[in-house]
């Protein structure tokens, strides 16, 4: 954000909302907010295009709250005035957290609607009168069919992450929902791209929209540095992953499958690196708990599937690791976008085997990422530079009462991972069951009605929290690997020395 960025007051935001933003350390607007607010506050339909982390949640939350408050319509049960559609329940929850302080400042009530949890509390909130509803399509359609909620009084509708809706196959449901909102209402669409049918939604539902685009539709983030490590064997890959996960700053590891995410989180925890997983086979309580533990810093490693690629908005994630290269370039950009958000910098590391070299090369070319190869081992400075100050590996039993060792991050006076895992063992429910070393026994996973991270619910056996273990980490694996490293900023960045942490510019989160 430049020093001459306009304040929200300069852009015409009502004073009560400005006070909330200033109190939260957000006095000035990001480019996507600066571009769209004059149009949205004036009641125009808007199509906003901006890369992840650009601050678009506030770009639509501010005008929605302002216009509903200005209208002053009497609250009616089951008939909201504002509707925000989101592709995943994690994203819906994150959006609600941004909207709620603004809404409360002007006396409006908000609620969330998504699958994977009991609908009874949602029914109660809707019937009691919710001015703004943040919803995933599947559960909202269910509640409409049960006549619990109606969209006939919606005056402002937001469609967030429209391209992701298309990727998940939600467009038919989105189309049905939009058709139930009044044609004269204001509609705000935000999407990184206009493919897969998004252009048809724009033509059908937006009335003379104002187009605003900040950066190219799929441009990489300028403050993000990309690295690709080629492992000579699966064993070398395991060592690289473990090394990258061992730092003290927040890091997010992506796997292709739910089983891989669950297994890797257990393996890291058993090696003294407390980690939690996030995927569709977990119950909603378990997902909320794990994401909360990661957001609060109780654990510093989150292992996730693509269900979290757009739904995780956590500040200060310094490193994203693609444990396997994703299947296509948009997934690469969306996963990578969990770091270098809101003006901060970040690193992205992709780990591949030699058999994946050609596919990864094509993937990066489509993502407009240019790389330069470098031969490394797991203990090479190029890898160590991404670790920073490595967390200490604690031997089995260390940190227990009387052992004389301080508890690791996330533990409360216990072993390396006992504090976090013992607390979660009542809530983390496994998918396909099986033993996983000290991680314990999983259970047969079940699936709710909604899909693709919106409403999946795992029903199954309880995962027992294991005691973290593992010896002192050595310098790394001696097998060679190749890394491709580049910065997408203006020119190359100087290499960091192993063990030295990068100083990151503080920035206010923009949702």
Flag whether 3 is in a domain: no
Show which of 188, 214, 240 is a domain's final residue: 214
Task: Provide the pLDDT confidence category of residue 453 given band limits of 50, 70 and 90.
Answer: very low
For 342-354, what is each residue's pLDDT tens digit? 556 789 999 988 8
Average pLDDT of the chain to the nearest whole number = 76
Q: What is the C-alpha separation between 133 and 80, in angstroms, rounded?
A: 7
More confident residue, 129 or 216: 129
Residue 491 has pLDDT above 70, yes or no: no
Residue 484 has pLDDT above 90, yes or no: no
Best-predicted range by mean pLDDT among 58-62, 314-318, 494-498? 58-62
- Overall number of domains in the chain: 2
Q: How many residues does this entry show for the chain?
A: 511
Whether 502 and 275 have beta carbons less than 8 Å apart is answered as: no
Residue whose C-alpha is closest to residue 61's, from 32, 21, 99, 26: 99
DSSP 68-127: HHHHTPPP-TT--SEEEE-SSHHHHHHHHHHHHHHHHHTT--EEEE-SSS-SHHHHHHHH
**pLDDT of the residue at 487:** 46
Q: What is the C-alpha separation between 173 and 91, in angstroms, rounded?
A: 18
Average pLDDT over residues 330-341: 80
**334 and 437 share a domain?**
yes
For 284-312, what is each residue's pLDDT tens digit? 888 889 988 998 889 999 999 986 656 67
The model's pTM: 0.59
**299 and 400 share a domain?**
yes
Show which of 167, 196, 214 is a domain's final residue: 214
Average pLDDT over residues 27-46: 92
Average pLDDT over residues 469-492: 43
Flag whether 110 is in a domain: yes
Element (H, E) at 305: none
What are the backbone dihedrals phi and psi of residue 168, each rounded to the nearest 5 degrees, phi first?
Answer: -90, 0
> Which of 163-167, 181-185, 272-276 has the least mean pLDDT?
163-167
**pLDDT of the residue at 391:** 46
**210 and 236 share a domain?**
no
**pLDDT of the residue at 452:** 39
More confident residue, 403 or 260: 260
Domain with 48 in it:
15-214
Residue 469 has pLDDT above 70, yes or no: no
For 372-387, what is each residue's pLDDT tens digit? 656 667 777 777 888 8
**167 and 264 share a domain?**
no
**pLDDT of the residue at 251:** 93
**97 and 233 share a domain?**
no
Q: How many CB atoms lie within 10 A of CB 74?
A: 5
**355 and 443 share a domain?**
yes
**285 and 405 share a domain?**
yes
**228 and 191 share a domain?**
no
Flag whether 66 is in a domain: yes
**pLDDT of the residue at 309:** 59
For 37-88, what is each residue's pLDDT tens digit? 999 999 999 998 866 566 889 999 999 999 999 998 889 999 999 999 999 8
Flag whether 168 is in a domain: yes
Cβ partners under 8 Å of residue 400, min gap 6: 414, 415, 418
Residue 231 has pLDDT above 90, yes or no: no
3-state secondary structure 324-393: CCCCCHHHHHHHHCCCCCCCCCEEEEEEEEHHHHHHHHHHHHHCCCCCCEEEECCCCHHHHHHHCCECCC
Residue 460 has pLDDT above 70, yes or no: no
What are the backbone dihedrals phi and psi of residue 83, each rounded to the nearest 5 degrees, phi first?
Answer: -135, 125
């Amino acid at each position: 954000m430049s020093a001459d960025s306009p304040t929200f007051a300069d852009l015409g935001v009502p004073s009560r909302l400005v006070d909330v933003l200033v109190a939260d350390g957000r006095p000035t607007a990001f480019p996507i907010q600066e571009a769209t607010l004059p149009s949205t506050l004036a009641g125009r339909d808007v199509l906003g295009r901006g890369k992840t982390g650009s601050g678009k949640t506030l770009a639509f939350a501010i005008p929605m709250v302002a216009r509903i408050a200005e209208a002053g319509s009497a609250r009616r049960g089951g008939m909201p005035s504002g509707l925000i559609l989101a592709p995943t329940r994690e994203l819906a929850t994150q959006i609600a957290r941004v909207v709620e302080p603004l809404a409360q400042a002007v006396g409006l009530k908000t609620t969330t609607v998504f699958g994977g949890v009991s609908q009874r509390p949602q029914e109660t909130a809707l019937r009691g009168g919710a001015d703004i509803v943040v919803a995933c399509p599947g559960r909202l359609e269910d509640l409409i069919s049960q006549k619990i909620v109606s969209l006939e009084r919606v005056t402002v509708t937001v469609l967030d992450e429209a391209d992701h809706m298309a990727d998940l196959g939600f467009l038919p449901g989105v189309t049905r929902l939009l058709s139930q909102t009044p044609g004269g209402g204001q509609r705000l669409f935000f999407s990184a791209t206009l493919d897969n049918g998004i252009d048809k939604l724009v033509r059908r539902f937006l009335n003379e929209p104002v187009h605003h685009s900040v950066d190219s539709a799929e441009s990489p983030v300028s403050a993000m540095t990309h690295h690709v490590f080629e492992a000579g064997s699966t064993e070398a890959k395991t060592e690289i992953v473990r090394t990258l996960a061992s730092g003290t700053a927040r890091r997010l590891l992506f796997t292709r499958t739910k089983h891989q995410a669950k297994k890797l989180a257990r393996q890291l925890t058993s090696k003294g690196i407390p980690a939690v997983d996030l995927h569709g086979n977990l119950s909603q309580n378990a997902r909320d708990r794990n994401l909360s533990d990661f957001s609060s810093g109780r654990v510093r490693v989150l292992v996730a599937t693509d269900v979290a690629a757009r739904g995780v908005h956590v500040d200060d994630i310094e490193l994203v690791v693609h444990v396997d290269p994703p299947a296509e370039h948009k997934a690469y950009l969306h996963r990578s976008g969990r770091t270098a958000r809101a003006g901060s910098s970040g690193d992205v590391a992709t780990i591949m085997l030699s058999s994946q070299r050609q596919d990864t090369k094509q993937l990066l070319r489509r993502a407009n990422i240019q790389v330069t190869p470098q031969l490394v081992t797991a203990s090479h400075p190029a890898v160590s530079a991404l670790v920073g100050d490595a967390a200490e590996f604690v031997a089995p039993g260390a940190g227990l009462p009387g052992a004389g060792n301080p508890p690791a991050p996330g533990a409360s006076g216990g072993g390396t991972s006992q504090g976090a895992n013992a607390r979660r063992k009542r809530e983390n429910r496994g998918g396909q069951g099986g033993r996983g070393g000290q991680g314990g026994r999983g259970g047969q996973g079940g699936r709710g009605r909604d899909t693709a991270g919106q409403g999946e619910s795992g029903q199954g056996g309880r995962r027992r929290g294991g005691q973290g273990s593992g010896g002192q980490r050595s310098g790394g694996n001696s097998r060679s690997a190749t890394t491709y490293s580049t910065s997408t900023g203006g020119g190359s960045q100087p290499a960091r020395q192993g063990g030295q942490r990068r100083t990151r510019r503080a920035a206010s989160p923009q949702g």
